Amino acid sequence: QDMRAHTSVPLLGYQVTAGTQADPRVFQLQQSGQFYTFKAETEELRDRWMKAMERAASGWSPRGPNDGDLSD
């Protein structure tokens, strides 16, 4: 069965911030008083999600075959 998103949020202009020290897997998107809170399974996955969302929020788009790589 195909899955599809219920909704989408354009990320351009959002700030991506790490969550609290209470749970280092948490991170947030924030803009104009609107917050979206996420929790990754691991800190490594949190870092990868944050990097991808930061790129989307800045308007970055891949230009070559390796530009989509989110690993460091």
pLDDT score at 3: 81
Summarize pLDDT for 4-28 with one digit per residue, the tens. 888 888 899 999 999 878 999 999 9
Question: For residue 71, is pLDDT > 70?
Answer: no
* Domain positions in the chain: 15-58
Read off the pTM: 0.76
Three-state SS for 69? Answer: coil
The DSSP-derived string for 6-33 is S-----TT-EEEE--TT-TTEEEEEETT
The answer to whether 30 and 15 have CB atoms below 8 angstroms apart is yes
In 3-state terms the chain splits into helix, strand, coil percentages (rounded to 5) of 20, 20, 55
